[in-house]
Chain A
Amino acid sequence: METLVGKRTLRDILLDEKIISEMDAEKIEKFKAETGWSFVRICLTYGFVSRKKLKEIFEKLGYQMVDIKREKIDVKVVSYLSMLVMEQYLGVPLRKEGDKVIVAMADPLDFEFTEMVRRIFKSNVEVIFAMDVDIIWVLNRYLGQPFCRIAIYNLLWNDPDRSAVLTFTSSQIIFITIFVLLYLIFFSIDPILAVVTMVVLVSFGYLISILFKFLLTLVGSRYEIQETITFEEIRALDEKDLPIYTVLLPVYKEPKVISRLVDSISKLDYPRFKLDVKLLLEEDDFETINAIRELDFPTVFEPLVVPYGEPKTKPKACDYGLIFARGEYLTIYDAEDVPDADQLKKVVAFFKKLPKDVICIQCALNYYNADENLLTRMFTLEYSYWFDYMLPGLDRLGLPIPLGGTSNHFRKDKLDELAGWDPFNVTEDADLGLRAYAKGYKVAVLTSTTYEEANKAIRNWIRQRSRWVKGYIQTYLVHMRHPIELIKKIGFKGFLGFQLFIGGTPFVFLMNPILWIIFIFWLLTKSEVVRIFFPDWVMYISIFNLLFGNGIVIYMNMMSVFRRKLYNLLPFALLNPFYWILHSIASYKALWQLITNPFYWEKTEHGISEVFKKEHRRK
């Protein structure tokens, strides 16, 4: 083996086998000179060679790929070199065996690194071939803990009042206790009036929340066919001037969808050397890591393994990725996402047009498997209504925008300033949007879409939705720790929007079944007991809520098909009241989890769509 070292390089082999052209080789060398990255790292990160091909090449040369995760690893040996240097070369010394050091390398022919190890350890080197993802796994597992601590506690250290590490602060607990006590006293004095008061408050809250959303939808729908960035504006961009763009791809147990994800990211219309795509893997996620090793097509990404540590949430992974991000702008895509190919360029063009205080651009999300079953249809309707109408409505009214889970594009320096995402909040995106707004920054909405996989299984849907609702409640509680301060920061209009949108959403879902049960009970029994708690004027509000509240929400969902011409979904909007039952179930689950397990991340399973499976089979 030693005889080969220094004779032929990976560059030569790839050129000989016509995997890369001379021009490619020049580009790679140029990039190598600028960054200090090894040849193999550039090839793998920027899709010049597939991992499977690389494995075949080295197997032909007699190097068997070793799963170094299973190897005996000496932490002292690993930590001998700088993590960043080892990352550059995609190599890591694993242990000492007698007078030699066992070094795992993605390119066993890289003489530079073996020479460096030989000199540092003053001993012989035995090189074994390992895939980049495994090397990164070792590096982050053994050397990534300090970074992981930063990822977890950065927000807590910088802005403890905005961290959801505490679900309820002591002052909130005191407030809630006093409120409950006062209510109980009120109830003991005049139980009927106490219940009536509660019913009135609930009815008004319900009504106002729905009317507010109707207003947002109407405002949003006015800009239905307006394109924020035109084709000409994208064409006018000079590729040389484009900034480095970080794309974070947090995944966990997603072996099924990983190939689709990296494939769609590779199709992004953006100069590849200006892409900084980080696939964020969890330390214990061997399924996905192994799936990456087997990828048989060139891809544009570099793996980054997030060391184990609680909380094990997506925001923690993103915060970890943020530490290593190189881009001027940064975005996140989920495992099953398929963004519009020109999205990054659109964002760059849009950021150029926007004032500096706009630090984030939210793109629309929609589903590629809308027609799969009733649930996916309802979900697509809901998403269309949310991203195509409500968020643009918030945008136009200048209200705080709770960001969607993915496809939110940031100015990276401002994201650093905000201390990234809150790893303890399970809707870290919504929370971040509000924190940005509170700091005087703005979020804009762009007419570019990322397609996702709509949940087709009810249980999976409930899991996902319960996480969202729990996160909304968490976000509400966090920002309501100092309500006066919040008003001062986001203004009364923003405060009102926050109450109705962030507070109102779980509130409506939680109240819906109670109101329906009372209504059905009264319908069946015509009980006078109900009449006692619903005096005439309260009854009028309740009737209005029942008829117009439901009517308005159904109608809003009907509207939502027009922007995307999803006309076939429109009749399904009439079934919305049944869909809300699922929302309510998820909301009560969320409420329960908020108390029992606030940071638990309900994992949504992806890759279960038939659309996806068909594509998978074709491949």
Chain B
Amino acid sequence: MRFVGIILLSLFAFYFYLSIALLVYGNGYQHPEGIFLAEKGLLALRGNPPRLENIGLIYPPLPFYVLFPFIFLTPIASPFLASSLVMSVLVLFVGYRLVKHKARFSLFLLFVAHLILNPTIIYAGSSGGSLHLYLAFLVIFYIFIFEHYIKPISFYLALAGTFLGLLVLVRYEVIFILPGLFFATVFLSIETTIGKEASYKEFFKLLVQLPAYRKTFIRKTISMYLMLFVPPVFSFISWIYLNWLFTSNPFFFIDSPHAYFRTLKTYVVFNTRLLELRGDILKSFLDVIKGVLVVSPTFFFVLFLFRRRLFHLMALFSPVLGLVISAYFGLSLLNIDFFAPFVILSFVGLLWAIYGGEVKNFGLAIFIYIVLFALSSLLSIKAFQNSNYPEEKFFIEALLKGKVEPIFKDEMKVANFLKETLKPEEIVLLDDANGYPIVVFYGEPKNFILPYQYEFYAAVQTPEIYADYILVYNPETFEGARDALNTTHKGLFRQGGRELALIYDSKKWRIFRSDSKFKIKQTLEVKR
């Protein structure tokens, strides 16, 4: 009966997050990452040529693959469908673990409260970014590693390792979590060797006195390291191989001008708070702790519960350390998105603290947890409202207040203009590093010459003979300065070009029509 309940809860979660997503989208909310992934999906499905490698090989691929099947249904809604589905799977998974451990009903209720009352979790399920996948895989990883602690069979360890490996293909930031987990693994090995009753002191005594015990322990620890860390290394090598295979540069995802960490570094330069943190470990640490405290004070309560379990302390603290390291190197935006996993991790930590006998007074522990959770939900709303990142701010506004101005308002207008103007066979030249929303809103990638095509760089040199329309981003903005057309033709946006007529003008975008009599369209048409 409980299993049926979990399935129903999972279905509820799916419709709940989807409904919220449709509500906020209807109110004008858009998530750039979701739209970006939708564009890559469109290129893979209906590009010229349609290829999976059109994903660009810069950003981690798994969020794209999760979203891709929904591109067949509806490109615009695909990010929401993917995030709702992944969150519902996570609900199913956590719910199943609750049932397996015969958790009290109050814990089920607390879990439901996390799903529907906490804004960061709602954001994960309904925003359409890749947070849902990061959150789900990270939580599943922790559940499996905690299960392994209670029942040390390779099944849990292997699954934990697999999910850690998959996390590398979800968000690169996971590499900053690995150092913490590296230390946690030693504690895991020790604590699964000595059991609950023996102490560390006795363990070290045995280690010194018994060579065979020492040998087995060392071998076991190395085995655990390999089980946990081979999958991330394998994912990394696979990604290098795929980069090399499709771009001829194994480190394209690092070397590309649009590389993830490179872009992050640039954003950090424009953010005074993040700039202050860069290179200052103490400030980074305090800022991250503050962030966790605001979004999930329950996390510290759970750390307190595990005060006698070094493994759990170290393992749970690893994502905190990860954020500190990335902030120190100036490689993180430290937005709420990165703090969201702590909410569910707190709940998972609480569960395993109960299962592991760390909670002596259940009622009191739950009471404190609920108070802190309520506090975190309220504080999170504030944190969203004060976020420096428009997508986070707009999400909470679209959810609580109603209409917001879409982030891609200009791009929607451009797409509508193109829909009205373009004939089916006409071609638009566009650098989709900035213009990807236009491709999505327009809906037909075959009408575009984009950077993934071989013709793109030739077309950028002489746009008037390759394209019927040329779309240029305002070079006076940071993003516009990197637009391939602006870097090749310095005055294009302001002065236009030979045989180019300005037909659309906005603050961000200008559209030129090519009046050239000679056009190279043969090859494109053949490919189409």
- Give Cα A225 to B216, complex, Å: 18
Interface size on A, residues (CB 8 A): 25
B51, A536: Cβ atoms under 8 Å?
Answer: yes
Of B159, B219, B230, B238, which one neighbours A558 at CB under 8 angstroms? B230
Nearest CB of B to A559, in Å: 5
Known contacts A536-B51, A543-B242, A551-B234: does B223 contact A561 (CB below 8 Å)? yes
Nearest CB of B to A472, in Å: 26
- Give Cα A574 to B229, complex, Å: 13
- Kindly state whether residue B281 has any CB partner on chain A within 8 Å: no
Question: Which residues of A are found within 8 Å of B157, using beta-carbon distances?
Answer: 559, 562
Residues in B215-260 with C-beta less than 8 Å from chain A = 216, 219-220, 222-223, 226-227, 230-231, 234, 238, 241-242, 245
- Give Cα A231 to B195, complex, Å: 22
- Give Cα A540 to B50, complex, Å: 13
- Kindly state whether residue A222 has any CB partner on chain B within 8 Å: yes
- Kindly state whether residue A72 has any CB partner on chain B within 8 Å: no
- Give Cα A533 to B153, complex, Å: 44
A224, B231: Cβ atoms under 8 Å?
Answer: no
- Give Cα A540 to B216, complex, Å: 42
Which residue of chain A has the shortest Cβ distance to B50 in the bound complex? A536
Question: Which residues of B are found within 8 Å of A168, using beta-carbon distances?
Answer: none
Of B162, B222, B223, which one neighbours A562 at CB under 8 angstroms? B223
Residues in A543-565 with C-beta less than 8 Å from chain B = 543, 547-548, 551, 554-555, 558-563, 565
B154, A570: Cβ atoms under 8 Å?
Answer: no
Which residue of chain B has the shortest Cβ distance to A218 in the bound complex? B155
B238, A567: Cβ atoms under 8 Å?
Answer: no
- Give Cα A574 to B231, complex, Å: 12
Known contacts A536-B51, A551-B234: does B219 contact A221 (CB below 8 Å)? no
- Kindly state whether residue A6 has any CB partner on chain B within 8 Å: no
Question: Which residues of B are found within 8 Å of A562, using beta-carbon distances?
Answer: 153-154, 157, 223
Nearest CB of B to A562, in Å: 4
Counting contact residues on chain B (CB < 8 A from A), the size range is 20 to 34
- Give Cα A554 to B231, complex, Å: 10
A555, B154: Cβ atoms under 8 Å?
Answer: no
Nearest CB of B to A371, in Å: 12
How many A-B contacts at CB < 8 Å in the complex? 66
- Kindly state whether residue A62 has any CB partner on chain B within 8 Å: no
Nearest CB of B to A353, in Å: 22
Question: Which residues of B are found within 8 Å of A224, using beta-carbon distances?
Answer: 153-155
Nearest CB of B to A391, in Å: 15
Over the window 567-590 of chain A, the binary record of Cβ atoms lying under 8 Å from chain B Cβ atoms (1 yes, 0 no) is 110110010000000000000000
Of B52, B159, B222, B234, which one neighbours A218 at CB under 8 angstroms? B159
Which residue of chain A has the shortest Cβ distance to B238 in the bound complex? A547
- Kindly state whether residue B161 has any CB partner on chain A within 8 Å: yes
Which residue of chain A has the shortest Cβ distance to B226 in the bound complex? A570
- Kindly state whether residue B158 has any CB partner on chain A within 8 Å: yes
- Give Cα A560 to B158, complex, Å: 10
- Give Cα A565 to B220, complex, Å: 8
- Give Cα A154 to B182, complex, Å: 61
Question: Which residues of B are found within 8 Å of A548, using beta-carbon distances?
Answer: 238
Question: Which residues of B are found within 8 Å of A570, using beta-carbon distances?
Answer: 219, 222-223, 226-227
- Give Cα A551 to B216, complex, Å: 26
Nearest CB of B to A166, in Å: 43
A221, B155: Cβ atoms under 8 Å?
Answer: yes
B155, A555: Cβ atoms under 8 Å?
Answer: no
Question: Which residues of B are found within 8 Å of A543, using beta-carbon distances?
Answer: 242, 245
Of B153, B220, B242, which one neighbours A567 at CB under 8 angstroms? B220
- Give Cα A548 to B65, complex, Å: 15
Question: Which residues of B are found within 8 Å of A218, using beta-carbon distances?
Answer: 155, 158-159
Residues in B129-183 with C-beta less than 8 Å from chain A = 151-155, 157-159, 161-162
A536, B154: Cβ atoms under 8 Å?
Answer: no
Known contacts A562-B223, A567-B216: does B241 contact A547 (CB below 8 Å)? yes
- Give Cα A565 to B223, complex, Å: 10
- Give Cα A547 to B242, complex, Å: 10
Over the window 49-92 of chain B, the binary record of Cβ atoms lying under 8 Å from chain A Cβ atoms (1 yes, 0 no) is 10110000000000000000000000000000000000000000
A568, B219: Cβ atoms under 8 Å?
Answer: yes
Nearest CB of B to A317, in Å: 38
Nearest CB of A to B369, in Å: 31
- Give Cα A420 to B231, complex, Å: 45
- Give Cα A551 to B223, complex, Å: 16
Nearest CB of B to A549, in Å: 12
A222, B155: Cβ atoms under 8 Å?
Answer: yes
Residues in B170-209 with C-beta less than 8 Å from chain A = none
Which residue of chain A has the shortest Cβ distance to B154 in the bound complex? A562
Question: Which of A547, A562, A565 neighbours the largest number of chain B CB atoms within 10 Å of its CB?
Answer: A562
Of A547, A555, A568, which one neighbours B161 at CB under 8 angstroms? A555
Which residue of chain A has the shortest Cβ distance to B239 in the bound complex? A547
Nearest CB of A to B156, in Å: 9
Nearest CB of B to A311, in Å: 41
Question: Which residues of B are found within 8 Å of A561, using beta-carbon distances?
Answer: 223
- Give Cα A563 to B157, complex, Å: 12
Question: Which of B151, B154, B161 neighbours the largest number of chain A CB atoms within 10 Å of its CB?
Answer: B154
Nearest CB of A to B57, in Å: 13
Question: Which residues of A are found within 8 Å of B241, using beta-carbon distances?
Answer: 547
- Give Cα A221 to B156, complex, Å: 9
Residues in A216-248 with C-beta less than 8 Å from chain B = 218, 221-222, 224-225
Which residue of chain A has the shortest Cβ distance to B162 in the bound complex? A555
Question: Which residues of A are found within 8 Å of B158, using beta-carbon distances?
Answer: 218, 221, 555, 558-559
Question: Which residues of A are found within 8 Å of B234, using beta-carbon distances?
Answer: 551
B238, A551: Cβ atoms under 8 Å?
Answer: yes
A563, B222: Cβ atoms under 8 Å?
Answer: no
Which residue of chain B has the shortest Cβ distance to A562 in the bound complex? B154
Question: Which residues of A are found within 8 Å of B223, using beta-carbon distances?
Answer: 558, 561-562, 567, 570
Nearest CB of B to A526, in Å: 10
Question: Which residues of B are found within 8 Å of A563, using beta-carbon distances?
Answer: 154
- Give Cα A540 to B52, complex, Å: 8
Question: Which residues of A are found within 8 Å of B162, using beta-carbon distances?
Answer: 555
Nearest CB of B to A396, in Å: 12
- Give Cα A207 to B226, complex, Å: 24
Which residue of chain A has the shortest Cβ distance to B242 in the bound complex? A543
A571, B154: Cβ atoms under 8 Å?
Answer: no
Which residue of chain B has the shortest Cβ distance to A571 in the bound complex? B226
Question: Which residues of A are found within 8 Å of B159, using beta-carbon distances?
Answer: 218
- Give Cα A555 to B231, complex, Å: 8
- Give Cα A158 to B471, complex, Å: 81
- Give Cα A11 to B49, complex, Å: 93
- Give Cα A404 to B352, complex, Å: 40
B226, A558: Cβ atoms under 8 Å?
Answer: yes
Question: Which residues of A are found within 8 Å of B230, using beta-carbon distances?
Answer: 554-555, 558, 574
- Give Cα A567 to B245, complex, Å: 35
- Give Cα A123 to B299, complex, Å: 100
A221, B154: Cβ atoms under 8 Å?
Answer: yes
Residues in A175-230 with C-beta less than 8 Å from chain B = 218, 221-222, 224-225
B219, A567: Cβ atoms under 8 Å?
Answer: yes
A225, B219: Cβ atoms under 8 Å?
Answer: no
A222, B242: Cβ atoms under 8 Å?
Answer: no
Of A221, A536, A555, A560, which one neighbours B153 at CB under 8 angstroms? A221
Nearest CB of A to B344, in Å: 24
A225, B153: Cβ atoms under 8 Å?
Answer: yes
- Give Cα A218 to B222, complex, Å: 21
- Give Cα A567 to B214, complex, Å: 13
Which residue of chain B has the shortest Cβ distance to A548 in the bound complex? B238
A and B contact pairs by CB, cutoff 8 A, 12 listed: A221-B154, A221-B158, A222-B155, A543-B242, A547-B238, A551-B231, A551-B238, A555-B161, A558-B230, A567-B216, A570-B226, A571-B226
In order of increasing CB-CB distance, the 10 nearest A-B pairs are A567-B219, A562-B154, A221-B155, A224-B153, A567-B223, A570-B223, A559-B154, A547-B238, A222-B155, A559-B158
Residues on B lying within 8 angstroms of A by beta carbon are 49, 51-52, 151-155, 157-159, 161-162, 216, 219-220, 222-223, 226-227, 230-231, 234, 238, 241-242, 245
Other A-B pairs, 4, CB within 8 Å; known A221-B154, A540-B52: A224-B153, A536-B49, A559-B157, A570-B223
